[in-house]
Amino acid sequence: MTCYIRIFSLIFILAGLCGCEYNLDKKNFRDIEKPPASHPFDLSLLSGNDTIKVFGETEITYSFNTYGLEIKAGVFKIQGKTWTEYSESGMFYLSPEDLIPGYDTLTLELYTRTGSGSLADLLDAENYVAVKKWLVVSDNRPSPVITPVKSTTKEGFLKLSWPKCSQYNFNYYRLQGTINSNTVVRKNFSDADSNFYVDSCYIGGPAIYRVDVMVFSEYSYNMGNNLQFEEPSPVLNFEESGIDSVRIFWNKAKYPARYKLTIPNTTPEVVLLDSQVDTSCIVATPGFGSYTSYDLFTLPVNLNFNNGYIRRDSKYYSLGTHFLPNWPKYAYNRLEKVMYTSSYNNIQCYDPLTVNLLNSQNISKLSYAGLFSCPTNSAKVAALSSENIYIYENRNLLNPVIISLNGGIVGDYFYLTDNDLIAVVRSGKYEQIRISDQQLIASFTITDYPYYSKWACFSTSNDGEYASIVTKNGGHIYRIANGNATEIYSDTRVYRSVMFNETDKNQLFMTFYENNILEVRDPADFSLTNSITLPGNKSVICNIDPETGYMLLTDYELLYVMDLSIPKLKLKLRSSDYRPRLYNNRLFSESGYSYDITKLLQK
Amino acid sequence: MRLVLSVICVLAFVSIGIAQKYKISLKSGYGTYQLNDLRGLQNDFATQGAWMHIEKVQQLPGYLNYSVSVEYFVNPKNLIGINGAYYTTGGRNHISDYSGEYALNMPLNGYRLGVQYRNVFAGFNKINMYVSADGGMMLSVLSISETLTLYPDHSNTEAVDFTSISFTFDPSVGAWYPLAKKVSLDISLGYQVYLESTLFNVDNVESELTDFRGNPVRLNWSGLRLGIGISYNLQ
């Protein structure tokens, strides 16, 4: 029994010692409700639209409305980069340098407390997570440098094309076109697929087109390469079409165009042609000795065009070749077959056939006053300036005999006879001067001084014996002998012009205002030796071609070339020149033109 | 420690078989403990976790203790012997809800081993009154474990053990009342005086336990001791 008690006591002790430790098992349980499974959130980016464009350092401004919940963190993520924000509103920056160019997604993971107050809530182990995504496009590559190319549409218009820009930061193409040094095109194309432009206004001329690609980047663009070319534009050309007409034509433009041919400085504007088809027209010639300017405007067919596209070609057309300035007068030496005239203060010698200058010599006070005359029996030539008379032996124009006159007076008539006399009309006087001793051998005052075509109203026979002066009031013939000038005939007919035949002093040609008769009279007794009907009234005798014998007459509208031997009108030519001459089938005008009428005379 | 005490008890019982005039006492009682520093440390923990609504649910209260003694009758009035005792209490901070649970457990156990002297100074009827003086060493073990569990699958526990050794002196008065020829009921009331001691980390004895202000946490088991038990005379 004692043994059992001992064993029982031992077990009791051991059990008591092992099982009597103070128990820590009281609880503090909070009976709170679980938070709802979902919660509304309003997450927005104030700086972003549907797609956030990151083409430069971009500020991303956010604003969260958690409807009362405390934000633990808002984590923005894109391409492995994160921005952690802790407030309801704020901003951060996205840099395209940190992103691969292209489209991607910016993801926001917003963590908030649940607000339940639970242990997990308090320990950040219980959250609401709101996820929102935005499409992001980023690119900060510099703009490409592109070069446009040109082609032609099926309608024939100029088409400019350029490579498409595939960059995400594309903003717009800027096309700039400079035509004829005028900026005529400046257009922007905001669609990257719009990579061509039809310039229906370009019709030719120097052109520079450039396309700049503008991008949304810090350095917004690089200048494109120029496409530079020049398509020939229409140019005026002239072609004689008969005696009285000229054909004006031009090359057709490469691109559709409208052609407008006008005469400039006319009011109202004279338009000779306005067409999209025709490239030529025939118009009346301006006549010998004058010119007409023409403007050819090549215009775009598109009505809404910039004036900078317009091409203008201006040219003048004249019948003959202009070769002298300042209203030159002429003389012809039939022995040397050269023509004398002046250019400013230079007496000049030309080959009338080629109009090549053979010699030139300066003479003081010659400009605007120069008159020239050649005898029929020598190579001499005499020139009259406003202060001297110069007599040269030949076309070398050396060592002239100089006869001084009272200075400052421009002569109206000047003639060198075959026997070395000089006839000159100045200051209302007719004078004859002998070259050999430079003496004035005769002089008389002209009481009825010519007013109209005065240059054609004086004439002296080739030996100086006779002089004739005609006006609308009548005609006078003087005989000059032994220093005396005696009027041997006068009448009151209405004369237009008078001229002695240079090779026959007994032939005096006379024309009239009121008829078309050319009378040939003997100055000795004023007997009528011939009467020739002219093609028109009021004809003024210009000269007789020393080589052909044809007489040149003018009524200041038309020139007439008459073969007096038949008699026959050889040529009628429009001209308003004041003092034309005919030498060796070449016409010379006071306006400085020459014109070869050989072919016309042969017709 | 429990193992050590068990071995001592077993040895005591074994010695019974060879001893005469011995008295074996088994006693259980209730004791109060000052342990103010430890309660302060628990307060610090609770205050720190107040935002989680952590509350002190058990704060080192007075609790049952157990003791055993083997005495030798020097004469019928005086006994000397050895004794061992076990004290246990603990503090607990806690919060739980649907989402998880947090618990800070601070079980504190003390193991005393000492000698005692008992003098029977009076007797009337069958009751013998005595005074007793015990003295000895006391080994204390404090475990601080903090467990956080978040449902359904997160749990984390951190624990650290501290230990301390100090001296105690327990004066008491009591009485025996015989229940049978060799068995009597033993009742006593005393006060345990504990020499305050610091707690050292078991894993690093140079690291002592301090409160949140850096002050050492001193252990003090002092307090009233009320005991009741059974004595068995081996005479």
For residue B32, what is the domain's CATH number?
A: 2.40.160.20
DSSP class of A34: P
CB neighbours of A260 closer than 8 A, spacing ≥ 6?
A: A271, A273, A274, A296, A297, A298, A299
DSSP class of A288: B
Q: Using 50, 70 and 90 to split pLDDT, how confident is the model at B10?
A: very low
Closest residue to B100, CB basis, from A6, A16, A119 = A119
A119 and B96 within 8 Å at the Cβ level: the answer is yes
> From the CA of A131, how many Å to the nearest CA of chain B?
24
> Do residues A226 and A189 both lie within one domain?
yes
**Which is it for strands A127-138 and A51-54: parallel, antiparallel or unpaired?**
parallel
Distance in angstroms between the alpha carbons of the first and the last residue of chain A = 180
Predicted pLDDT at A14: 52
A119 and B6 within 8 Å at the Cβ level: the answer is no
Name the residue with tokens 């088409």: A159
> Do residues A158 and A219 both lie within one domain?
yes
Nearest to A428 by CA among A407, A440, A410, A416: A410
> Do residues A175 and A248 both lie within one domain?
no
CB neighbours of A20 closer than 8 A, spacing ≥ 6?
A: B64, B66, B86, B88
Run of H or E residues at A42: strand A42-45
- For A111, the domain range is 42-138
User: Does any CB of chain A come closer than 8 Å to the CB of residue B58?
Assistant: yes
Say how far apart CA B163 and CA B108 lie, in whole Å.
10
This prediction's pTM: 0.64
Nearest to A121 by CA among B150, B24, B60, B141: B150
Predicted pLDDT at A390: 96
pLDDT in tens, B165-198: 999 999 999 999 999 888 999 999 999 999 999 9
Which chain A residues touch B54 with a CB distance below 8 Å? 28
What tokens were used for B210? 């301090």
What tokens were used for A284? 């009346």
> By a Cβ cutoff of 8 Å, what residues of chain A touch chain B?
6, 9-10, 12-14, 16-18, 20-22, 24-32, 34, 116-123, 125-126
In a domain, A559, yes or no: no
pLDDT in tens, A426-461: 889 999 999 999 999 999 999 999 998 999 999 999
pLDDT in tens, B93-137: 999 999 999 999 999 999 999 999 999 999 888 899 999 999 999
> Do residues A72 and A117 both lie within one domain?
yes
What tokens were used for A504? 């026959």
CB-count burial class (<10 Å; 0-12, 13-18, 19+) for A62: buried
- CB hemisphere CA count around A456 (13 angstroms): 28
Q: What residues 76-95 of chain B have any CB closer than 8 A to a CB of chain A?
A: 86, 88-92, 94-95
Predicted pLDDT at A2: 52
In a domain, A412, yes or no: yes
Angle of CA points A23, A24, A26, to nearest 5°: 115
Predicted pLDDT at A49: 64
Distance of CA B43 to the CA centre of its chain: 22
What tokens were used for A577? 């020149």
Amino acid at A222: N
> From the CA of B10, how many Å to the nearest CA of chain A?
7
C-alpha distance from residue A125 to each of A121, A129, B154, B158 (Å): 6, 12, 10, 19
Q: Which of A198, A231, A264 is a domain's end point?
A: A231
B150 and A123 within 8 Å at the Cβ level: the answer is yes
pLDDT in tens, A156-181: 999 999 999 999 989 999 999 999 88
Predicted pLDDT at A180: 87
> Do residues A407 and A299 both lie within one domain?
no
Rounded (10°) angle between helices B2-16 and A2-19:
170
- Per-position b or e across A13-43, b if 16+ CB within 10 A of its CB: beeebeeebbebeeebeeeeeebeeeeebeb
Q: Using 50, 70 and 90 to split pLDDT, how confident is the model at B17?
A: very low
Q: Which of A422, A445, A468 is a domain's end point?
A: A445
DSSP class of A377: S
Say how far apart CA A261 and CA A240 lie, in whole Å.
17
Nearest to B191 by CA among B34, B82, B1, B24: B34
DSSP for A486-527, written as a single string = EEEEE----EEEEEEETTEEEEEEEEESSS-EEEEEETTTTE
Nearest to B155 by CA among A116, A119, A25, A23: A119
Q: Which of A411, A445, A479 is a domain's end point?
A: A445
pLDDT in tens, A204-252: 999 999 999 999 877 667 899 999 999 999 999 999 888 889 999 999 9
Which chain A residues touch B112 with a CB distance below 8 Å? none
Q: The domain spanning residue A368 has which CATH number?
A: 2.130.10.10
Angle of CA points A305, A306, A311, to nearest 5°: 95
> Do residues A188 and A208 both lie within one domain?
yes
In a domain, A563, yes or no: no
Distance in angstroms between the alpha carbons of the first and the last residue of chain B = 31
DSSP class of A290: -
User: Does any CB of chain A come closer than 8 Å to the CB of residue B5?
Assistant: yes
What tokens were used for A95? 């840099």
Does residue B113 sit in helix, strand or coil? strand
CB neighbours of B204 closer than 8 A, spacing ≥ 6?
A: none
Nearest to A178 by CA among A229, A253, A234: A229
In a domain, A522, yes or no: no
Bridge partners (DSSP) listed for residue B159: B145
Domain count for chain A: 4
In a domain, A257, yes or no: yes
Say how far apart CA A283 and CA A266 lie, in whole Å.
16
In a domain, A489, yes or no: no
Q: Which residue does chain A place closest to B92, by CA atoms? A: A24
Amino acid at A76: F
Tell me how many residue pairs between chain A and chain B have CB atoms under 8 A apart: 105
Res. B8: pLDDT tops 80: no
Say how far apart CA A288 and CA A596 lie, in whole Å.
11
Q: Using 50, 70 and 90 to split pLDDT, how confident is the model at B11?
A: very low
> Do residues A324 and A418 both lie within one domain?
yes
% residues pLDDT > 70 (chain B): 91
Name the residue with tokens 């068990």: B6
What tokens were used for A168? 């995400």
For residues B151 and B100, the answer to whether their CB atoms sit within 8 Å is yes
A28 and B54 within 8 Å at the Cβ level: the answer is yes
Q: Using 50, 70 and 90 to split pLDDT, how confident is the model at B142?
A: very high
Dihedral sign (CA A322, A327, A333, A336): negative
Angle of CA points A140, A103, A189, to nearest 5°: 60
Say how far apart CA A372 and CA A466 lie, in whole Å.
20
CB neighbours of A217 closer than 8 A, spacing ≥ 6?
A: A55, A56, A96, A139, A140, A141, A142, A143, A169
Does residue B124 sit in helix, strand or coil? strand
Res. B18: pLDDT tops 80: no
> Do residues A289 and A325 both lie within one domain?
no
Run of H or E residues at A599: helix A598-602
> From the CA of A86, how many Å to the nearest CA of chain B?
21
Predicted pLDDT at B16: 47
In a domain, A453, yes or no: no
Q: What residues 171-190 of chain B have any CB closer than 8 A to a CB of chain A?
A: none
Does residue A602 sit in helix, strand or coil? helix
Say how far apart CA A238 and CA A283 lie, in whole Å.
10
DSSP class of A144: P
CB neighbours of A509 closer than 8 A, spacing ≥ 6?
A: A497, A498, A499, A500, A501, A518, A519, A520, A541, A551
DSSP class of A309: G
Q: Which residue does chain A place closest to B62, by CA atoms? A: A22
Closest residue to B100, CB basis, from A16, A17, A120 = A120
Which chain B residues touch A13 with a CB distance below 8 Å? 6, 9, 26, 68
> Do residues A72 and A128 both lie within one domain?
yes
In a domain, A558, yes or no: no
For residues A55 and A138, the answer to whether their CB atoms sit within 8 Å is yes
Q: Which residue does chain B place closest to A124, by CA atoms? A: B150
For residues A383 and A340, the answer to whether their CB atoms sit within 8 Å is yes
User: Does any CB of chain A come closer than 8 Å to the CB of residue B213?
Assistant: no
The neighbour count for residue A61, using CB atoms within 10 Å, is 13
B97 and A9 within 8 Å at the Cβ level: the answer is no
> Do residues A154 and A203 both lie within one domain?
yes
CB neighbours of A250 closer than 8 A, spacing ≥ 6?
A: A234, A235, A236, A237, A259, A279, A280, A296, A313
At A422, phi and psi to the nearest 5? -110, 125
> From the CA of B11, how many Å to the nearest CA of chain A?
10
Regions of chain A with pLDDT less than 50: 1, 3-4, 7
C-alpha distance from residue A440 to each of A296, A429, A486 (Å): 59, 12, 16
Domain count for chain B: 1
- For B133, the domain range is 2-233
B10 and A10 within 8 Å at the Cβ level: the answer is yes
Distance of CA A246 to the CA centre of its chain: 24
Q: What is the mean pLDDT of chain A?
A: 91
The neighbour count for residue B186, using CB atoms within 10 Å, is 21
Predicted pLDDT at A243: 81
Predicted pLDDT at B235: 67
Predicted pLDDT at B173: 97
